[in-house]
Amino acid sequence: VTELHAPTAPRPPPTKRWLWLIVGMLLTALAIVAGVQWRQFSLLNASVRYEGDNIVWSFFQLEVEYLKLRGLLRDVEQDPARLDRDALQTRLDLFVSRVALVEPRRTQAQIATQPIQSDTVARIQAFVARADALLGSDPDKPLAPAVPHALLAQLEPLAAPVHDMAMWANEAMAAQVGARSELVRQQSRISIAMVAFQLLMTVAFAAIVLRQLRALEQRSNALERLAGRLQVATSDAEAASRTKSAFLANMSHELRTPFQGVLGMLALIEDGPLNDQQADQLRTARESAQHLLALLNDVLDVSTLEHGQVRLVPTPTALPRLVAEVEALMRGPALSKGLALRVQRVTEVPGFVLVDATRLKQILFNLLGNAIKFTDTGAVVMEVGVEQDPGGPPQMCFKVIDSGIGMDEPTLARLFKRFSQGDDSTLRRFGGTGLGLEISRSLARMMEGDITVHSAPGLGSSFVLRVPLPVCDAPTAGAGLHTGAAMVTPPLRVLVAEDHPINRKYLEALLARMGHTVTLCENGELAAQAAAGQDFDVVLMDMHMPVMDGFAATQAIRALPAPRGVVPVFALTADAFAETRERAARAGMNDFLPKPVQPAELKQALNRMFGRPVIEGAAAAQDAGLSVSPAGAVRPSEMAPAGRSTTARPARASSRSDPPEAAHAKTPAHNTAGDSASAPVPWLDRMAPEVIFGDLPPDTHATFLNDFFEDDSGTIARLSQRLDGRADRALRQAAHAVKGVAMNLGLTRLANTAAVIETLPSDTSAAQIQALHDRLFSELAQSRVACLEAGWIETPAVDTEPA
């Protein structure tokens, strides 16, 4: 690769050297040309200076004046009468004036002086001296006739030298001009050569620049190609990642579908007649299956955490209650191993904190579950307290201490790493994916906290979870009852769309046992046809099906005219990805059930939508106008997230939320709250505890009251949301739910107000609704006080006593 790239690689040093060389040569050439032109300029200047009087012209002028003087003297020689002294003197003066111009000291700058010049000038000067002597200095004195004769005799011999000197000067000057011309020609040649050289250099310069430009272009092309390849590689990688996600989702679906069948069938067999041995074997099979489910859920958790799809939803949460729940659920496993489980408060603990309760519980379940799993004798202790971190917000601190096998340094170092679990022997001994701690730590860090660990072999371990949990006020209305607790779902007409025959069979059995009528379809297309052809109260729709999948089928159903087009549709799916939930919501689905479908979850989901108060009489009387199937579609944001259990979560986790069906059976018709607007309605129905909860454990009523006041199920919150605007059907439904619960619990005044809201005409003004809203919350608070006074509940709401 390197060799391939070498030719295109830039090598600036040699090119730079060439450029500098060319620049240097160009500058030299320019300097030479400038020098030559300066010399030519100087030459021209010199010649101009002496042009003032042409030298050769001066020599010939001298000869002319000589000839004129000689002519005058010859005339006088022939005719002495013509002698004019003034004229003679002027001629002589003119001749003399020309002599000065040809003296060597004046001409030597241009013509090298020769004997012919100096001798002749000397002879002329001698003649002038003699002539001046002959003529004398007095201009008025007449000249003797002999004087011109003598002058002529002196002048005649000068004719040849004067002429020869003129000829010599002419030749010398011509040679000079020739030499100068030759010089100019030579310099012109140099100039031309230099210009040609410059041209050559410029061409070379241009060639190098062109080469550079071409190289640059090649490099930029290469870079572009590289960028293109990188882009392709990036999108390939992204596509691969998407494929991986899809694979995970599909795989989980494929794994969980038969799994649902296993669990479902096991549950059905457990209900049948069994001998002890079979029951034991079945229990083992169910526990194994549930363990497998836990592992599968861990894998899904990791994959969703990895994709950043897990979002925390902090809500005001009663911390003591949360701790008590965790403790209650972990006590069973601890007891079954003969371990003591103690939960201790080491400092004051705030009543309410803002936290994602599900995720916090998940972490605590994991830590406690691990502690129990790795401890054979002794105790597992959880200390709960607040740590005041100097310079930071106070942190909630959960410390889980066990007296188990402990860990050595190398094990601690690998502890939170994926797939690592103590060592291989531990893995064989205890099983598990080893993902639990990694998930817990990821969640703790998402909450801006962390998990630390201290341990030594044989000395047990202590895991500490620290999270900054903002203290908050109790929610405006207390959390309610588990919806299922006091609600019951009437018999429904259920359409089930599920491709897998075992799952179909399982769901059919499950729903039938709950008293519902079931219609089964093998795929989405058949389901859409069935939903178009007859009325159903609810549709359970598997997402992955042949022919037409659940999304398309739901869209097809939503395209039907009302009421068949608005039938509630619950999604059934094995993948827990947030995308899938969003897609389901977009397709128009109302709720979301993770597979394998647990009986409790299905019951809860149905209750959420169809639940009616246990006291049928009063409700039925007021419900005359309402159809059995409520139409209010749950908005996507309200869709319940798929609750994931955790590694250590016991299989019985959901048992507590099972509604006391006995209550249903024993509920007598009972009503005090009706249309009583005249007399002041009493706050409480003193008979309720005995009539409704008489056969149940003694603290059940109190627990349900606390649940209701803390609004765990959001019953009051939903009504509060609806109380902001119009008196529509959604408001009536929400009020109806509150009314039912309040009546069951014996909160007569509150039930009465809820009944008023439920029967509001649709043109009620917003102000009136607001007034009722205020009244409802005021009465809620006062009902709580009344319950306290009556001894139905104790303050504070719930506390956790050490075991």
User: Considering beta carbons, is residue 45 or 637 the nearer one to other proteins?
Assistant: 45
User: Which of 50, 156, 219, 586 is the binder for other proteins (CB under 8 A)?
Assistant: 50
Residue 622 contacts by C-beta under 8 Å, 6 or more apart in sequence?
Answer: 736, 739, 755, 758, 759
Cα–Cα distance between 216 and 211 in angstroms, integer? Answer: 8
Asked if residue 351 lies in contact with residue 474, where contact means CB atoms within 8 angstroms, the answer is yes
Place of tokens 């319950």: 787
CB of 94 to other proteins, least distance (A): 5
Cα–Cα distance between 151 and 173 in angstroms, integer? Answer: 32
Q: Which stretch binds other proteins (CB under 8 A): 13-21, 43-51, 362-370, 596-604?
A: 43-51
Cα end-to-end span (Å), the chain: 71
- Which residue in 71, 73, 243, 67 sits closest to 160, CA to CA? 67
User: Which of 9, 48, 81, 679 is the binder for other proteins (CB under 8 A)?
Assistant: 48
User: Which of 7, 13, 14, 52 is the binder for other proteins (CB under 8 A)?
Assistant: 52
Residue 233 contacts by C-beta under 8 Å, 6 or more apart in sequence?
Answer: none
Cα–Cα distance between 666 and 135 in angstroms, integer? Answer: 180
DSSP H or E run through 607: helix 599-610
User: Considering beta carbons, is residue 53 or 699 the nearer one to other proteins?
Assistant: 53
User: Considering beta carbons, is residue 177 or 781 the nearer one to other proteins?
Assistant: 177
Q: Is 53 in the site for other proteins (CB under 8 A)?
A: yes
Residues 72-131 that bind other proteins (CB under 8 A): 90, 93-94, 96-97, 100
CB of 165 to other proteins, least distance (A): 19
User: Which of 59, 60, 61, 797 is the binder for other proteins (CB under 8 A)?
Assistant: 61
Q: Which stretch binds other proteins (CB under 8 A): 57-65, 119-127, 180-188, 471-479?
A: 57-65
Asked if residue 137 lies in contact with residue 85, where contact means CB atoms within 8 angstroms, the answer is no
User: Considering beta carbons, is residue 84 or 224 the nearer one to other proteins?
Assistant: 84
Cα–Cα distance between 664 and 692 in angstroms, integer? Answer: 9
User: Considering beta carbons, is residue 53 or 75 the nearer one to other proteins?
Assistant: 53
CB of 136 to other proteins, least distance (A): 16
Q: Is 195 in the site for other proteins (CB under 8 A)?
A: no
Beta-bridge mates of residue 143: none
DSSP assignment letter at 653: G
User: Considering beta carbons, is residue 90 or 220 the nearer one to other proteins?
Assistant: 90
Q: Give the torsion through C-alpha atoms of 532, 533, 538, 542, to 10 deg.
A: -70
Binding-residue pattern over the window 596 to 635 for other proteins, x denoting contact by CB under 8 A: ----------------------------------------
Residues 772-801 that bind other proteins (CB under 8 A): none
DSSP H or E run through 380: strand 379-387
Cα–Cα distance between 149 and 157 in angstroms, integer? Answer: 13
CB of 92 to other proteins, least distance (A): 9
Residues 720-739 that bind other proteins (CB under 8 A): none
Q: Is 276 in the site for other proteins (CB under 8 A)?
A: no
CB of 183 to other proteins, least distance (A): 20
User: Which of 1, 6, 51, 140 is the binder for other proteins (CB under 8 A)?
Assistant: 51
Q: How many other C-beta atoms can be found within 10 angstroms of the C-beta atom of residue 330?
A: 25
3-class SS letters over 707-767: HHHEECCCHHHHHHHHCCCCCCHHHHHHHHHHHHHHHHHCCHHHHHHHHHHHCCCCCCCHH
Binding residues for other proteins, total number by CB under 8 A: 16
User: Considering beta carbons, is residue 96 or 251 the nearer one to other proteins?
Assistant: 96
- Backbone φ, ψ for residue 613 (5° rounding): -60, 150
Distance of CA 476 to the CA centre of its chain: 38
| List of residues contacting other proteins (CB under 8 A) | 48-53, 61, 64-65, 68, 90, 93-94, 96-97, 100
